[in-house]
Amino acid sequence: MSYSQSYTGYNDNRPSAPPAPDPGTGHPYPSYYGQQGQGQSYSSTSYGSYGYPSFPPGTHPDVIRSFQMVDRDRSGFIDENELQQALSSGYQRFSLRTIRLLMFLFKNLHDSLRIGPQEFAALWGCLGQWRAIFERFDRDQSGRIDAMELKDALYSLGYAVPDSVLSVLVSRYDDGSGCKVELTFDSFVECGMIMKGLTEKFKEKDPRYTGSVTFTYDTFMSMIIPFLV
Amino acid sequence: MSYSQSYTGYNDNRPSAPPAPDPGTGHPYPSYYGQQGQGQSYSSTSYGSYGYPSFPPGTHPDVIRSFQMVDRDRSGFIDENELQQALSSGYQRFSLRTIRLLMFLFKNLHDSLRIGPQEFAALWGCLGQWRAIFERFDRDQSGRIDAMELKDALYSLGYAVPDSVLSVLVSRYDDGSGCKVELTFDSFVECGMIMKGLTEKFKEKDPRYTGSVTFTYDTFMSMIIPFLV
Protein backbone atom coordinates (compact mmCIF):
# COMPACT_ATOMS: atom_id res chain seq x y z
CA MET A 1 0.00 0.00 0.00
CA SER A 2 1.57 3.26 -1.04
CA TYR A 3 1.75 6.06 1.49
CA SER A 4 -0.38 8.46 -0.53
CA GLN A 5 -3.03 5.91 -1.35
CA SER A 6 -3.72 5.31 2.30
CA TYR A 7 -5.19 8.77 2.65
CA THR A 8 -6.88 9.59 -0.63
CA GLY A 9 -9.37 6.74 -0.84
CA TYR A 10 -12.94 7.43 0.22
CA ASN A 11 -13.54 4.36 2.34
CA ASP A 12 -10.30 5.03 4.10
CA ASN A 13 -11.66 8.37 5.23
CA ARG A 14 -14.92 6.88 6.40
CA PRO A 15 -14.69 5.88 10.06
CA SER A 16 -15.45 2.26 10.75
CA ALA A 17 -17.47 3.50 13.75
CA PRO A 18 -17.45 0.46 15.98
CA PRO A 19 -19.80 0.55 19.00
CA ALA A 20 -18.69 2.63 21.98
CA PRO A 21 -16.13 0.69 24.02
CA ASP A 22 -17.34 -1.57 26.80
CA PRO A 23 -15.46 -0.48 29.94
CA GLY A 24 -15.58 -4.04 31.13
CA THR A 25 -13.87 -5.62 28.17
CA GLY A 26 -11.68 -2.80 26.85
CA HIS A 27 -10.87 -2.38 23.18
CA PRO A 28 -10.67 -5.20 20.62
CA TYR A 29 -7.17 -5.41 19.18
CA PRO A 30 -8.09 -5.13 15.49
CA SER A 31 -9.59 -1.66 15.94
CA TYR A 32 -6.36 -0.71 17.74
CA TYR A 33 -5.07 0.32 14.37
CA GLY A 34 -8.05 2.32 13.24
CA GLN A 35 -10.28 1.71 10.27
CA GLN A 36 -9.12 -1.10 8.04
CA GLY A 37 -10.70 -0.25 4.66
CA GLN A 38 -8.25 1.19 2.15
CA GLY A 39 -10.87 2.24 -0.37
CA GLN A 40 -10.43 3.39 -3.92
CA SER A 41 -7.22 5.22 -4.65
CA TYR A 42 -7.02 8.72 -6.11
CA SER A 43 -3.25 8.84 -6.11
CA SER A 44 -3.29 10.71 -9.42
CA THR A 45 -5.56 13.56 -10.44
CA SER A 46 -7.92 13.05 -13.36
CA TYR A 47 -8.73 16.05 -15.56
CA GLY A 48 -12.17 17.06 -16.74
CA SER A 49 -13.11 19.39 -19.57
CA TYR A 50 -10.82 22.37 -20.23
CA GLY A 51 -8.08 20.60 -18.31
CA TYR A 52 -9.59 21.59 -14.94
CA PRO A 53 -9.15 18.74 -12.46
CA SER A 54 -12.52 17.07 -11.90
CA PHE A 55 -14.41 16.31 -8.69
CA PRO A 56 -15.48 12.73 -8.01
CA PRO A 57 -18.95 11.88 -9.39
CA GLY A 58 -21.73 12.93 -7.01
CA THR A 59 -19.69 15.57 -5.20
CA HIS A 60 -22.08 17.98 -3.44
CA PRO A 61 -22.30 21.37 -5.21
CA ASP A 62 -21.42 23.15 -1.94
CA VAL A 63 -18.08 21.33 -1.88
CA ILE A 64 -17.32 22.31 -5.46
CA ARG A 65 -18.41 25.88 -4.77
CA SER A 66 -16.20 26.15 -1.65
CA PHE A 67 -13.21 24.90 -3.61
CA GLN A 68 -13.71 27.06 -6.68
CA MET A 69 -14.39 30.14 -4.52
CA VAL A 70 -10.84 30.04 -3.18
CA ASP A 71 -9.13 28.68 -6.31
CA ARG A 72 -9.02 32.15 -7.84
CA ASP A 73 -6.38 31.38 -10.46
CA ARG A 74 -8.44 28.36 -11.60
CA SER A 75 -5.31 26.22 -11.33
CA GLY A 76 -7.36 23.36 -9.93
CA PHE A 77 -5.21 23.27 -6.81
CA ILE A 78 -5.36 25.13 -3.52
CA ASP A 79 -2.66 25.79 -0.90
CA GLU A 80 -2.95 25.73 2.87
CA ASN A 81 -4.22 29.29 3.19
CA GLU A 82 -6.87 28.71 0.53
CA LEU A 83 -7.87 25.46 2.25
CA GLN A 84 -8.24 27.31 5.54
CA GLN A 85 -10.47 29.84 3.75
CA ALA A 86 -12.52 27.16 1.96
CA LEU A 87 -13.20 25.22 5.16
CA SER A 88 -14.14 28.40 6.99
CA SER A 89 -17.12 28.72 4.67
CA GLY A 90 -18.31 25.14 5.17
CA TYR A 91 -17.22 24.36 8.71
CA GLN A 92 -15.27 26.84 10.75
CA ARG A 93 -11.87 28.47 10.80
CA PHE A 94 -9.27 25.81 11.63
CA SER A 95 -5.83 26.63 13.02
CA LEU A 96 -3.05 26.57 10.44
CA ARG A 97 -1.56 23.66 12.38
CA THR A 98 -4.71 21.58 11.82
CA ILE A 99 -4.87 22.73 8.21
CA ARG A 100 -1.29 21.56 7.62
CA LEU A 101 -2.04 18.17 9.14
CA LEU A 102 -5.10 17.89 6.88
CA MET A 103 -2.99 18.87 3.85
CA PHE A 104 -0.31 16.38 4.83
CA LEU A 105 -2.74 13.50 5.33
CA PHE A 106 -4.85 14.17 2.23
CA LYS A 107 -2.21 15.33 -0.24
CA ASN A 108 -1.71 13.36 -3.43
CA LEU A 109 1.54 11.80 -4.59
CA HIS A 110 2.49 14.60 -6.91
CA ASP A 111 2.05 17.76 -4.88
CA SER A 112 2.73 18.08 -1.17
CA LEU A 113 1.95 21.79 -0.94
CA ARG A 114 -1.43 21.92 -2.70
CA ILE A 115 -4.47 19.68 -2.99
CA GLY A 116 -6.89 19.18 -5.88
CA PRO A 117 -10.65 18.58 -6.09
CA GLN A 118 -10.47 14.90 -5.27
CA GLU A 119 -8.37 15.38 -2.15
CA PHE A 120 -10.56 18.32 -1.13
CA ALA A 121 -13.74 16.28 -1.55
CA ALA A 122 -12.29 13.40 0.48
CA LEU A 123 -11.12 15.81 3.19
CA TRP A 124 -14.50 17.56 3.29
CA GLY A 125 -16.30 14.25 3.61
CA CYS A 126 -13.99 13.11 6.38
CA LEU A 127 -14.55 16.34 8.32
CA GLY A 128 -18.31 15.87 8.00
CA GLN A 129 -18.11 12.44 9.56
CA TRP A 130 -15.78 13.66 12.29
CA ARG A 131 -18.07 16.60 13.01
CA ALA A 132 -21.00 14.20 13.52
CA ILE A 133 -18.93 12.09 15.91
CA PHE A 134 -17.71 15.17 17.79
CA GLU A 135 -21.30 16.35 18.28
CA ARG A 136 -22.40 12.92 19.42
CA PHE A 137 -19.86 13.00 22.26
CA ASP A 138 -20.28 16.68 23.06
CA ARG A 139 -23.31 15.68 25.12
CA ASP A 140 -23.96 19.10 26.66
CA GLN A 141 -23.52 20.76 23.23
CA SER A 142 -20.86 23.03 24.70
CA GLY A 143 -18.70 22.82 21.58
CA ARG A 144 -16.02 21.13 23.68
CA ILE A 145 -15.24 17.57 24.74
CA ASP A 146 -13.14 16.34 27.64
CA ALA A 147 -10.48 13.64 27.68
CA MET A 148 -12.82 10.70 28.19
CA GLU A 149 -15.20 11.98 25.51
CA LEU A 150 -12.17 12.36 23.22
CA LYS A 151 -11.21 8.76 23.93
CA ASP A 152 -14.73 7.56 23.08
CA ALA A 153 -14.90 9.79 20.00
CA LEU A 154 -11.55 8.53 18.69
CA TYR A 155 -12.73 4.99 19.37
CA SER A 156 -15.77 5.72 17.20
CA LEU A 157 -13.30 6.69 14.48
CA GLY A 158 -11.66 3.32 14.94
CA TYR A 159 -8.76 4.33 17.19
CA ALA A 160 -8.56 2.63 20.57
CA VAL A 161 -6.19 5.07 22.28
CA PRO A 162 -4.26 3.64 25.24
CA ASP A 163 -4.63 5.81 28.37
CA SER A 164 -0.89 6.47 28.33
CA VAL A 165 -1.22 7.92 24.83
CA LEU A 166 -4.44 9.75 25.66
CA SER A 167 -2.84 11.60 28.56
CA VAL A 168 0.07 12.73 26.39
CA LEU A 169 -2.32 13.77 23.64
CA VAL A 170 -4.56 15.78 25.97
CA SER A 171 -1.66 17.37 27.87
CA ARG A 172 -0.91 19.39 24.72
CA TYR A 173 -4.10 21.36 25.36
CA ASP A 174 -3.52 21.92 29.07
CA ASP A 175 -3.13 25.65 29.64
CA GLY A 176 -1.77 25.07 33.13
CA SER A 177 -4.78 26.76 34.74
CA GLY A 178 -5.66 23.59 36.59
CA CYS A 179 -9.07 23.46 34.91
CA LYS A 180 -10.20 20.24 33.23
CA VAL A 181 -8.80 20.11 29.70
CA GLU A 182 -11.51 20.41 27.04
CA LEU A 183 -11.03 20.27 23.29
CA THR A 184 -12.73 22.27 20.56
CA PHE A 185 -13.63 20.63 17.23
CA ASP A 186 -10.43 22.13 15.77
CA SER A 187 -8.33 20.41 18.48
CA PHE A 188 -10.35 17.21 18.09
CA VAL A 189 -9.56 17.15 14.36
CA GLU A 190 -5.91 17.83 15.13
CA CYS A 191 -5.82 14.91 17.61
CA GLY A 192 -7.70 12.69 15.19
CA MET A 193 -5.38 13.47 12.31
CA ILE A 194 -2.33 12.80 14.49
CA MET A 195 -3.80 9.46 15.57
CA LYS A 196 -4.83 8.61 12.02
CA GLY A 197 -1.51 9.63 10.49
CA LEU A 198 0.82 7.98 12.98
CA THR A 199 -1.32 4.85 13.20
CA GLU A 200 -1.40 4.49 9.41
CA LYS A 201 2.39 4.88 9.25
CA PHE A 202 2.84 2.27 11.97
CA LYS A 203 0.31 -0.01 10.28
CA GLU A 204 2.17 0.23 6.98
CA LYS A 205 5.20 -1.33 8.71
CA ASP A 206 3.10 -3.89 10.56
CA PRO A 207 0.86 -5.40 7.86
CA ARG A 208 0.17 -8.47 9.98
CA TYR A 209 -0.89 -6.44 13.05
CA THR A 210 1.65 -7.95 15.41
CA GLY A 211 1.54 -4.74 17.44
CA SER A 212 5.26 -4.00 17.22
CA VAL A 213 7.60 -2.73 14.53
CA THR A 214 11.37 -2.57 14.20
CA PHE A 215 12.59 0.75 12.80
CA THR A 216 16.04 1.72 11.63
CA TYR A 217 17.15 5.20 12.68
CA ASP A 218 16.70 6.52 9.11
CA THR A 219 13.22 5.05 8.71
CA PHE A 220 12.20 6.32 12.12
CA MET A 221 13.39 9.88 11.46
CA SER A 222 12.06 10.04 7.90
CA MET A 223 8.67 8.82 9.07
CA ILE A 224 8.24 11.15 12.04
CA ILE A 225 9.61 14.45 10.76
CA PRO A 226 6.79 15.03 8.24
CA PHE A 227 4.34 15.11 11.16
CA LEU A 228 6.22 17.96 12.80
CA VAL A 229 4.55 20.42 10.50
CA MET B 1 19.32 7.20 31.50
CA SER B 2 16.13 9.00 32.45
CA TYR B 3 14.39 11.06 29.80
CA SER B 4 14.71 14.32 31.69
CA GLN B 5 18.37 13.78 32.53
CA SER B 6 19.24 13.57 28.89
CA TYR B 7 18.38 17.21 28.35
CA THR B 8 19.21 19.04 31.55
CA GLY B 9 22.88 18.21 31.86
CA TYR B 10 25.38 20.78 30.65
CA ASN B 11 27.72 18.52 28.72
CA ASP B 12 24.77 17.02 26.98
CA ASN B 13 23.92 20.43 25.58
CA ARG B 14 27.47 21.07 24.47
CA PRO B 15 27.92 19.86 20.90
CA SER B 16 30.66 17.31 20.43
CA ALA B 17 31.62 19.24 17.30
CA PRO B 18 33.40 16.57 15.27
CA PRO B 19 35.27 17.78 12.16
CA ALA B 20 33.18 18.54 9.09
CA PRO B 21 32.26 15.32 7.28
CA ASP B 22 34.60 13.94 4.64
CA PRO B 23 32.46 13.43 1.51
CA GLY B 24 34.66 10.51 0.61
CA THR B 25 34.13 8.53 3.75
CA GLY B 26 30.73 9.68 4.92
CA HIS B 27 29.78 9.89 8.57
CA PRO B 28 31.24 7.71 11.32
CA TYR B 29 28.45 5.63 12.86
CA PRO B 30 28.96 6.67 16.49
CA SER B 31 28.20 10.32 15.72
CA TYR B 32 25.06 9.12 13.97
CA TYR B 33 23.32 9.46 17.29
CA GLY B 34 24.61 12.87 18.17
CA GLN B 35 26.76 13.86 21.11
CA GLN B 36 27.39 11.05 23.55
CA GLY B 37 28.13 12.87 26.82
CA GLN B 38 25.26 12.86 29.27
CA GLY B 39 26.79 15.36 31.68
CA GLN B 40 25.63 16.23 35.15
CA SER B 41 21.94 15.84 35.82
CA TYR B 42 19.71 18.66 37.03
CA SER B 43 16.58 16.56 37.11
CA SER B 44 15.46 18.27 40.29
CA THR B 45 15.59 21.97 41.10
CA SER B 46 17.73 23.13 44.02
CA TYR B 47 16.59 26.16 45.98
CA GLY B 48 18.78 29.06 47.03
CA SER B 49 18.13 31.66 49.69
CA TYR B 50 14.54 32.80 50.19
CA GLY B 51 13.34 29.66 48.43
CA TYR B 52 14.06 31.13 45.00
CA PRO B 53 15.41 28.41 42.69
CA SER B 54 19.13 28.99 42.19
CA PHE B 55 21.16 29.28 39.01
CA PRO B 56 24.13 26.97 38.51
CA PRO B 57 27.42 28.39 39.89
CA GLY B 58 29.12 30.69 37.40
CA THR B 59 25.96 31.56 35.45
CA HIS B 60 26.54 34.79 33.50
CA PRO B 61 24.72 37.78 35.05
CA ASP B 62 23.02 38.51 31.69
CA VAL B 63 21.36 35.08 31.81
CA ILE B 64 20.10 35.66 35.36
CA ARG B 65 18.92 39.15 34.40
CA SER B 66 17.04 37.90 31.34
CA PHE B 67 15.29 35.25 33.42
CA GLN B 68 14.38 37.51 36.34
CA MET B 69 13.21 40.25 33.98
CA VAL B 70 10.39 38.01 32.72
CA ASP B 71 9.73 36.12 35.96
CA ARG B 72 7.58 38.95 37.27
CA ASP B 73 5.84 36.96 40.00
CA ARG B 74 9.25 35.77 41.26
CA SER B 75 7.94 32.22 41.22
CA GLY B 76 11.30 31.00 39.95
CA PHE B 77 9.67 29.48 36.88
CA ILE B 78 8.76 30.87 33.47
CA ASP B 79 6.24 29.68 30.88
CA GLU B 80 6.57 29.56 27.11
CA ASN B 81 5.57 33.18 26.55
CA GLU B 82 8.01 34.41 29.19
CA LEU B 83 10.73 32.26 27.65
CA GLN B 84 10.02 33.77 24.25
CA GLN B 85 10.34 37.22 25.81
CA ALA B 86 13.52 36.36 27.73
CA LEU B 87 15.27 34.98 24.64
CA SER B 88 14.21 38.00 22.59
CA SER B 89 16.40 40.12 24.84
CA GLY B 90 19.45 37.88 24.55
CA TYR B 91 19.11 36.39 21.09
CA GLN B 92 16.12 37.15 18.92
CA ARG B 93 12.42 36.49 18.83
CA PHE B 94 11.85 32.77 18.23
CA SER B 95 8.61 31.35 16.86
CA LEU B 96 6.31 29.85 19.51
CA ARG B 97 6.85 26.52 17.78
CA THR B 98 10.61 26.68 18.40
CA ILE B 99 10.00 27.93 21.93
CA ARG B 100 7.75 24.95 22.65
CA LEU B 101 10.37 22.53 21.35
CA LEU B 102 12.98 24.22 23.56
CA MET B 103 10.62 23.98 26.56
CA PHE B 104 9.92 20.34 25.80
CA LEU B 105 13.59 19.39 25.44
CA PHE B 106 14.85 21.36 28.43
CA LYS B 107 11.98 20.91 30.89
CA ASN B 108 12.67 19.18 34.19
CA LEU B 109 10.90 16.11 35.50
CA HIS B 110 8.45 17.99 37.67
CA ASP B 111 6.99 20.66 35.45
CA SER B 112 6.32 20.32 31.73
CA LEU B 113 4.81 23.78 31.27
CA ARG B 114 7.47 25.96 32.93
CA ILE B 115 11.23 25.92 33.31
CA GLY B 116 13.42 27.08 36.17
CA PRO B 117 16.82 28.82 36.34
CA GLN B 118 18.86 25.66 35.76
CA GLU B 119 16.93 24.63 32.65
CA PHE B 120 17.01 28.22 31.41
CA ALA B 121 20.78 28.47 31.90
CA ALA B 122 21.31 25.16 30.08
CA LEU B 123 19.01 26.26 27.25
CA TRP B 124 20.73 29.64 26.96
CA GLY B 125 24.16 27.98 26.82
CA CYS B 126 22.98 25.53 24.18
CA LEU B 127 21.60 28.35 22.02
CA GLY B 128 24.91 30.18 22.29
CA GLN B 129 26.78 27.18 20.97
CA TRP B 130 24.23 26.64 18.21
CA ARG B 131 24.40 30.32 17.25
CA ALA B 132 28.19 30.03 16.83
CA ILE B 133 27.77 26.97 14.64
CA PHE B 134 25.04 28.64 12.58
CA GLU B 135 27.27 31.65 11.95
CA ARG B 136 30.19 29.42 11.00
CA PHE B 137 28.14 27.83 8.21
CA ASP B 138 26.34 31.00 7.17
CA ARG B 139 29.42 31.82 5.12
CA ASP B 140 28.01 34.88 3.35
CA GLN B 141 26.62 36.16 6.69
CA SER B 142 23.16 36.39 5.11
CA GLY B 143 21.49 35.17 8.29
CA ARG B 144 20.32 32.10 6.35
CA ILE B 145 21.78 28.69 5.56
CA ASP B 146 20.83 26.29 2.79
CA ALA B 147 20.24 22.54 3.00
CA MET B 148 23.89 21.48 2.62
CA GLU B 149 25.01 24.08 5.16
CA LEU B 150 22.28 22.79 7.48
CA LYS B 151 23.60 19.25 7.04
CA ASP B 152 27.15 20.37 7.88
CA ALA B 153 25.92 22.48 10.79
CA LEU B 154 23.90 19.61 12.27
CA TYR B 155 26.92 17.37 11.80
CA SER B 156 28.93 19.86 13.84
CA LEU B 157 26.31 19.43 16.56
CA GLY B 158 26.95 15.69 16.37
CA TYR B 159 24.06 14.68 14.12
CA ALA B 160 24.93 12.95 10.87
CA VAL B 161 21.63 13.45 9.05
CA PRO B 162 20.94 10.96 6.24
CA ASP B 163 20.06 12.72 2.96
CA SER B 164 16.63 11.09 3.04
CA VAL B 165 15.98 12.70 6.42
CA LEU B 166 17.55 16.00 5.39
CA SER B 167 15.25 16.38 2.40
CA VAL B 168 12.17 15.75 4.55
CA LEU B 169 13.45 18.16 7.18
CA VAL B 170 14.16 20.95 4.67
CA SER B 171 10.92 20.43 2.75
CA ARG B 172 9.09 21.84 5.76
CA TYR B 173 10.55 25.26 4.93
CA ASP B 174 9.80 25.12 1.20
CA ASP B 175 7.36 27.90 0.39
CA GLY B 176 6.67 26.42 -3.03
CA SER B 177 8.16 29.44 -4.81
CA GLY B 178 10.75 27.23 -6.46
CA CYS B 179 13.56 29.21 -4.86
CA LYS B 180 16.30 27.36 -2.98
CA VAL B 181 15.17 26.69 0.59
CA GLU B 182 17.14 28.67 3.16
CA LEU B 183 16.75 28.54 6.93
CA THR B 184 16.91 31.33 9.48
CA PHE B 185 18.52 30.74 12.89
CA ASP B 186 15.03 30.19 14.30
CA SER B 187 14.37 27.40 11.77
CA PHE B 188 17.86 26.00 12.32
CA VAL B 189 17.19 25.74 16.06
CA GLU B 190 13.83 24.11 15.32
CA CYS B 191 15.51 21.53 13.04
CA GLY B 192 18.29 20.98 15.56
CA MET B 193 15.88 20.46 18.44
CA ILE B 194 13.85 18.00 16.38
CA MET B 195 17.01 16.06 15.47
CA LYS B 196 18.27 16.23 19.06
CA GLY B 197 14.96 15.23 20.60
CA LEU B 198 14.04 12.37 18.27
CA THR B 199 17.62 11.06 18.22
CA GLU B 200 17.82 11.05 22.00
CA LYS B 201 14.50 9.19 22.24
CA PHE B 202 15.70 6.63 19.72
CA LYS B 203 19.05 6.37 21.51
CA GLU B 204 17.31 5.69 24.83
CA LYS B 205 15.78 2.58 23.26
CA ASP B 206 19.01 1.58 21.54
CA PRO B 207 21.65 1.84 24.29
CA ARG B 208 24.05 -0.41 22.36
CA TYR B 209 23.79 1.65 19.16
CA THR B 210 22.65 -1.21 16.95
CA GLY B 211 20.91 1.34 14.72
CA SER B 212 17.44 -0.21 14.96
CA VAL B 213 14.74 -0.34 17.62
CA THR B 214 11.56 -2.36 18.00
CA PHE B 215 8.63 -0.27 19.21
CA THR B 216 5.21 -1.41 20.37
CA TYR B 217 2.33 0.73 19.10
CA ASP B 218 1.84 2.29 22.57
CA THR B 219 5.52 3.14 23.00
CA PHE B 220 5.70 4.53 19.49
CA MET B 221 2.66 6.79 19.93
CA SER B 222 3.58 7.93 23.45
CA MET B 223 7.07 8.81 22.27
CA ILE B 224 6.13 10.76 19.15
CA ILE B 225 3.08 12.74 20.23
CA PRO B 226 4.99 15.01 22.64
CA PHE B 227 7.02 16.28 19.68
CA LEU B 228 3.87 17.39 17.90
CA VAL B 229 3.77 20.53 19.98
Contact call for B224 and A225, based on CB within 8 A? no
**Beta-bridge partners for B214:** A214
pLDDT (0 to 100) of residue B83? 95
**Terminal Cα-to-Cα distance of chain A (whole angstroms):** 23
Residue B21 or residue B140, greater confidence: B140
Q: Tell me how close the Cα of B83 comes to any Cα of chain A, in angstroms.
A: 15
Does residue B29 surpass a pLDDT of 80? no
Is A78:A67 a contact under the CB 8 Å cutoff?
A: yes
pLDDT (0 to 100) of residue A53? 73
pLDDT (0 to 100) of residue B61? 93
Q: Give the span between the Cα atoms of A178 and A22, in whole angstroms.
A: 29
List residues of B whose CB lies inside 8 A of any A CB.
32-33, 79, 112-114, 161-162, 164-165, 168-169, 171-172, 174, 176, 194-195, 198-199, 202, 206, 211-218, 220-222, 224-229
What does the pLDDT average to over A83-109?
A: 88
pLDDT (0 to 100) of residue A33? 55
The share of chain A scoring above pLDDT 90, in percent, equals 47
Q: Which chain A residues touch B211 with a CB distance below 8 Å?
A: 216-217
Interface test with chain A among B32, B202, B216, B224, by most A beta carbons within 10 Å: B224
Residue A50 φ/ψ region, left for φ over 0, alpha for ψ in the -120 to 50 degree band, beta for the rest: left
Q: Give the span between the Cα atoms of A154 and A20, in whole angstroms.
A: 10
> What are the residues whose beta carbons fall under 8 Å from the beta carbon of A55, sequence distance 6 or more?
A63, A64, A67, A117, A118, A121
- Band of residue B173 on the pLDDT scale cut at 50, 70, 90: confident
Contact call for B194 and A113, based on CB within 8 A? no
Does residue B31 surpass a pLDDT of 90? no
Interface test with chain B among A77, A190, A217, by most B beta carbons within 10 Å: A217
Does residue B18 surpass a pLDDT of 60? no
Does residue B144 surpass a pLDDT of 50? yes
Is B166:B35 a contact under the CB 8 Å cutoff?
A: no
Does residue B12 surpass a pLDDT of 70? no
Does residue B10 surpass a pLDDT of 50? no
Q: Tally A–B CB contacts below 8 A.
A: 108
Does residue B149 surpass a pLDDT of 90? yes
pLDDT (0 to 100) of residue B150? 94
Q: What is the pTM of this model?
A: 0.70
**Beta-bridge partners for A78:** A115
Q: Which chain A residues touch B112 with a CB distance below 8 Å?
A: 171
pLDDT (0 to 100) of residue B220? 92
pLDDT (0 to 100) of residue B182? 93
Residue A20 or residue A128, greater confidence: A128
Does residue A22 surpass a pLDDT of 90? no
pLDDT (0 to 100) of residue B132? 94
Among partner residues A32, A165, A214, which is closest to B225 by beta-carbon distance?
A165
Residue B43 or residue B62, greater confidence: B62
Phi, psi angles (nearest 5°) of residue B26: 75, -165
pLDDT (0 to 100) of residue A46? 55
pLDDT (0 to 100) of residue B48? 53
Q: Give the span between the Cα atoms of A209 and B172, in whole angstroms.
A: 31
Interface test with chain B among A220, A223, A227, by most B beta carbons within 10 Å: A220
Q: Give the span between the Cα atoms of B156 and B188, in whole angstroms.
A: 13
What does the pLDDT average to over B198-206?
A: 93
Q: Tell me how close the Cα of A127 comes to any Cα of chain B, in angstroms.
A: 21
A217-224 vs B185-205: helix crossing angle, rounded to 10:
130
- Give per-residue pLDDT as tens, A178-191: 788 999 999 999 99
- Give per-residue pLDDT as tens, B45-70: 455 555 567 899 999 999 999 999 99
- Band of residue A23 on the pLDDT scale cut at 50, 70, 90: very low
Contact call for A221 and B165, based on CB within 8 A? yes
What does the pLDDT average to over B66-80?
A: 91
Question: What's the Rg (C-alpha) of chain B?
Answer: 18
Is A95:A186 a contact under the CB 8 Å cutoff?
A: yes
Least confident residue range of A100-109, A218-227, B3-12, B184-193: B3-12
**Interface ipTM above 0.90:** no
pLDDT (0 to 100) of residue A4? 35
Q: Tell me how close the Cα of A58 comes to any Cα of chain B, in angstroms.
A: 32
Q: Give the span between the Cα atoms of B81 and B100, in whole angstroms.
A: 9
- Beta-strand ranges (E) seen in B34-128 are none
**Secondary structure (H, E, C), B158-209:** CCCCCHHHHHHHHHCCCCCCCCCCEECHHHHHHHHHHHHHHHHHHHHHCCCC
Greatest mean pLDDT among A62-71, A218-227, B29-38: A62-71
What does the pLDDT average to over A87-91?
A: 85
Hey, how many other C-beta atoms are within 10 angstroms of the C-beta on B97?
16
What does the pLDDT average to over B204-213?
A: 94
Q: Give how far Cα A54 sits from Cα of A51, A83, A87, A115, Å.
A: 9, 17, 19, 12
Does residue A213 surpass a pLDDT of 90? yes
- Band of residue B37 on the pLDDT scale cut at 50, 70, 90: very low
The residue in chain A having the minimum alpha-carbon distance to the alpha carbon of residue B32 is A217
- Mean pLDDT score of chain A: 78
- Band of residue B80 on the pLDDT scale cut at 50, 70, 90: confident
- Mean pLDDT score of chain B: 78
Hey, how many other C-beta atoms are within 10 angstroms of the C-beta on A91?
17
pLDDT (0 to 100) of residue A115? 93
Contact call for B217 and A33, based on CB within 8 A? yes
Does residue A3 surpass a pLDDT of 50? no
